[in-house]
Amino acid sequence: MRSLDIGATGMQAQQMNVDVISQNIANMTTTGYKRRRADFKDLMYQNITRPGTTSSDAGTIVPAGLQMGLGVRAAGVYRIHEQGTLKVTENPLDLAINGDGFFQIELPSGETAYTRDGVFQVNQDGELVTGMGYLLQPGIVIPQDTTDIEINESGQVFVKIQNQTNMQEVGQIELSSFVNPAGLDAIGDNLLLETEASGAPVNGNPNEDNFGSIRQGILESSNVNVVEEITNLISAQRAYEMNSKVISASDEMLSTVVQLR
């Protein structure tokens, strides 16, 4: 009864599908979150009669053959890097990337992580940091007597010092891009790490060389479409139920065989 095993693989696949959908829904308000999508492949086949084999001494060919599938498996969970909606916050240290690119973040280990989450703050030394206290790279220090901060679309950071008229430039924000951003390794806290699948980062200034522009006082919302996710959830639930029906039907068939006398 292959159907028992096939139905079980179908239930496992839909359980993973629901897990991915629930992760998307849970992060529907997470800044810079990119929705995930589960991808599935059919399992290997048992060839009872292989297509194209000869079926007689006259050289006749079997046109279709007889192949029995063994179910489904999860092939991967992909990150969809679509632009999220830009939401105005009026906070001068809230930054959004309108287009391609990631902010560079220095981890306590010395590694560089990447994020689309532009919620920054100033630490005790005046350095721009994430909500976890990780430094934005390249480092930017805001003087203590700053009364105003302006960050233009090219990532240049200007400050107005108390009792001074002219704005002073104190740093330049850089962005990183990847050939395959879906290959980045998510480690939580809205942070991603480079992998062999993502390729090496290409660094550059915002608004140049196909990099996105910086928008001050704005945050990029999650790109999760709630209506689409709920629809996918209903479809996954129905598919799970149908696979369970396959197992129930197979069990009834086996019960019938056992009761034969």
Residue pLDDT, tens place only, 39-59: 999 988 888 888 888 877 787
Tokens matching residue 240: 């799970």
Residue partners of 155: CB distance under 8 A and separation at least 6: 172, 173, 174, 175, 205, 206, 207, 214
Looking at residue 96, what is its pLDDT?
A: 97
> What pLDDT does 174 receive?
96
**Least confident range of 44-48, 82-86, 179-183, 211-215:** 44-48
pLDDT of the residue at 8 = 94
pLDDT confidence tier of residue 124, bands split at 50, 70 and 90: very high
Write the pLDDT tens digit of every residue in 87-107: 999 999 999 999 999 999 999
pLDDT digits (tens, 9 = 90+) for 176-210: 999 999 999 999 999 999 999 999 999 999 999 88
Mean predicted lDDT score pLDDT of the chain? 92
Question: pTM of the full predicted structure?
Answer: 0.85
Residue 61 CA to residue 38 CA, distance in Å, equals 39
> For 138-145, what is the mean pLDDT?
92
Using a 10 angstrom Cβ sphere, with 0-12 exposed, 13-18 middle and 19 or more buried, the burial of residue 176 is buried
Q: What is the pLDDT of residue 187?
A: 94
Q: Which residues pair with residue 137 across a beta bridge?
A: 104
